[in-house]
Chain A
Amino acid sequence: FFVQTHSLQDLQQPAVSSKVFIQRDYSSGTICKFQTKFPSELESRLDKQQFEETIQTLNNLYAEAEKLGGKSYLEGCLACLTAYTIFLCMETHYEKVLKKIARYIKDQNEKIYAPRGLLLTDPIERGLRVVEITIFEDRSIGSGR
């Protein structure tokens, strides 16, 4: 065998066994919020509580991004006065929170999901439609849990 394939078989690039999609929860309107219902496919891999905590934190972060409050109004009014040209130069509050979310997801992946053979995909990559969780086959020889 080729060395590469041998090593591949060894390290075995993990095969994706399935993907779970956490859909949006529209019960509070159009704000970005995901369902916290624990999908059955993850039962063998993850704690329900852990999962709910991740999703809940994500929901809170998105709520923070979309919050209507003094600061966002100020940003909006200022933008209006400048004919919205400041959007070209300034990073909006929403974008700042999105970065925060990306960091959080990366962090969660490293600490919790990757060791269990799972991978969270940032919802922004999916147009904020779903939280995609990729489940990898657990056939690695000496890894993971």
Chain B
Amino acid sequence: MKNCEYQQIDPQALPTPTPTPPPHHGNDSDKKEEPKRPRRKWEVFPGKNRFYCEGRIIVARQSGVLPLTLGLILVTSGLFFIFDCPFLVKHLTSCIPVIGGVLFVFVVITLLQTSFTDPGILPRATPDEAADIEKQIDNTGNTSYRPPPRTKEVLINQQVVKLKYCFTCKMFRPPRTSHCSLCDNCVERFDHHCPWVGNCVGKRNYRFFYTFIVSLSFLTAFIFGCVTTHLALRAQGGKGLVFALQESPGSAVELVICFFSVWSILGLSGFHTYLVASNLTTNEDIKGSWSGKSGEDVTNPYSHKNIFINCCSVLCGPMPPSLIDRRGFLPTDDSAQTGGTDIEVPTLATKSEINVCTQGTKGLLESATLPPLLSTSCPQGKPQTAHTCPDSSPAVNSDPSPELSMGCGARHAASSQGDASPSRHTKACSKKSKRAALHIPNTAFDIPVSPTSPDAASFAPLH
């Protein structure tokens, strides 16, 4: 049994001459414990994401060209409604703005949902878990150098699949999970990082993304058709195209935009329809994981072998919950430290994995090389640095070590105030659990189940 080498047990065991025993153990660590505002998890989130609305909205750090995408859609649709609709309503039918309106609303809503939804980010492993895995891999003296890449093989539906170890998140990635370097997160069922929506596309928001591109294709095609009809009608009677364009300049703009976008968007929709029908991700398709390139007999182990079922499972399956619990409370921690030190990789910059998938050949629009559009100051939460964790010992603070700040946020539920149950199910008050921790008879384990049950965490030795 490994015991905590650090003082955490001491304050309890020894009569440290503090008149008021701090309800938390870490009184040796620096800061005094005046009740601070309990922080939520999104504030110390280690990935490169930005949060708005108190953690309800999540976007990638680089918003990519999302403003451009939104702008193009709004401008084109706006011009359509202003210039083309009046004419077409008069000469054709008034259904046109209705259909256009519905499509437009669909497009904008699904775009925003794709951009603002957690794509399926996997929270990083807690220090204890990471240590456990390290133990299993039997690696010693790994503090100074990076061990060779580790893989684990599993058999899924009679297919051998290699699971890779993610050095940043300190865990073996589940199948189909990939680490996005732009967002610095492992994302489940990672499809690709889309600069146009400014977010990764993964398990949770793939259906939004698919609906977005499909409805966008319809919208673009619809507008294109309407504009063409409009101009054709205007140019009737020998008046000529130029005349028509002069009368309705907005249509010219729309024509250009739609003409260039409709092919790429239609192409993208077609490609993703193929992916959905075969239950593949862009990532897998590009890497050729299941196409038998290596000469072996490989098939996609995740496919249900039936197009209909594949489509249903990808698009209409149950919506998985967000695993990162952005709005949960952090237990306010004090002595964060050491827990993570020996697992802590000094430089976070080490990332082994692929991530941004350029759909170069296929998806003409998706290109990871687009320079990220602006990066205006993020109004809230720069979640990455450890400075949001003021109580962690300064030594560790210098290096933004997300696991640590996550760890320090999550582990030592010592203080009187932090809510010790970041669990989404019970946001019970910390004080109660604090006292519970102190006076807990052996059986009263009714502390809200949390990653940092105060009693456990107080003594959390590093294994």
Contacts and interface: CB of A to CB of B under 8 A. Distances in A.
A27 B156 contact: yes
A134 interface: yes
B50 to A, nearest CB: 20
A106 interface: yes
B291 interface: no
Contacts of B424: 124
Given A13-B440, A16-B456, A76-B312, A26 B175 contact: yes
A110 interface: yes
Contacts of B443: 114-115, 143-144
A17 B4 CA distance: 10
Given A8-B12, A102-B425, A125-B449, A26 B174 contact: yes
Of A18, A75, A84, most buried by chain B (CB within 10 Å of CB) is: A84
A19 B109 contact: no
A26 B164 CA distance: 13
A2 B461 CA distance: 25
B442 A144 contact: yes
Interface string A97-119: 01100100110011001110101
Interface in A7-57: 7-9, 11, 13-19, 21, 24, 26-30
B323 interface: yes
B175 A84 contact: no
A132 B128 contact: yes
Given A13-B437, A30-B175, A127-B324, A18 B12 contact: no
B110 A84 contact: yes
Contacts of B451: 121, 125-126, 132
Nearest to B189: A30
B157 A29 contact: yes
B455 A121 contact: no
Given A9-B13, A84-B207, A17 B315 contact: no
Given A72-B318, A76-B317, A80-B315, A29 B125 contact: no
Contact of B313 (A24, A68, A99, A129): A68
A58 interface: no
Nearest to A120: B449
B315 A76 contact: yes
A48 B15 CA distance: 41
A136 B365 CA distance: 55
Contacts of A93: 318
Contact of B302 (A13, A30, A98): A30
A118 to B, nearest CB: 9
A8 to B, nearest CB: 5
Contacts of A85: 109
B57 to A, nearest CB: 12
A109 B445 contact: yes
Contacts of A114: 442-446
Contact of A127 (B123, B207, B425, B426): B123
Contact of A17 (B1, B133, B425, B445): B1
A83 interface: yes
Contact of B132 (A19, A75, A119): A19
Contacts of A132: 128-129, 451
B341 interface: no
A75 B312 CA distance: 11
A39 to B, nearest CB: 11
B321 A95 contact: yes
B459 A15 contact: yes
B163 interface: yes
A130 interface: yes
B176 interface: yes
B92 interface: no
A76 B313 CA distance: 9
B126 interface: yes
Contacts of B113: 83-84
Contacts of A75: 316, 318-319
Of A1, A16, A75, A143, most buried by chain B (CB within 10 Å of CB) is: A16
B324 A13 contact: no
A9 B13 CA distance: 7
Of A24, A77, A83, A94, most buried by chain B (CB within 10 Å of CB) is: A83
B374 interface: no
A68 B449 contact: no
A29 B156 contact: yes
A83 B13 contact: no
A115 B317 CA distance: 39
Contacts of A67: 318
Interface in B14-50: 14-15, 21
A5 B157 contact: no
A80 B460 contact: no
Contact of B14 (A5, A65, A73): A5
B146 interface: no
Contacts of B14: 5
Given A9-B13, A13-B459, 8 more contacts: A15-B459, A24-B174, A73-B312, A75-B316, A83-B113, A84-B113, A106-B446, A140-B442
Interface of A: 1-2, 4-5, 7-9, 11, 13-19, 21, 24, 26-30, 65-68, 72-73, 75-77, 79-80, 83-85, 87, 92-95, 98-99, 102, 105-106, 109-110, 113-115, 117, 119-122, 124-130, 132, 134, 136-137, 140, 143-144
- Pairs A-B, 5 closest by C-beta atoms: A76-B316, A143-B442, A114-B445, A127-B123, A127-B323
